[in-house]
Amino acid sequence: MAKNKKSKNDPKTHDDLKGFNIHINEFGQVESTLQQDKLNTFLNDNVEDKKFNKKVIEQLSKEEE
């Protein structure tokens, strides 16, 4: 059975997240190189929320009518 080899190349990332690094310190606190507000804005703009899929949005619009 072959061993998994770690790639020495950096993973592909979005241009807005270049240099982004996140880790948990010895006290259990999350440390990041990007401000939380900027990260949340990026996620809101680029990631679809599974909770609010088209079906839910259609149901909400019907309830408003």
Q: For residue 31, what are the contacts with CB-CB under 8 A and spacing of at least 6?
A: 22, 23, 24, 25
Alpha carbons 7 and 11: distance in angstroms, whole number: 9
Find, among 23, 17, 24, the residue nearest to 43 by Cα. Answer: 17
Q: What is the pTM for the complete model shown?
A: 0.54
pLDDT tens readout for residues 4-60: 776 677 778 888 888 888 899 999 999 999 888 998 898 888 888 777 777 777 777
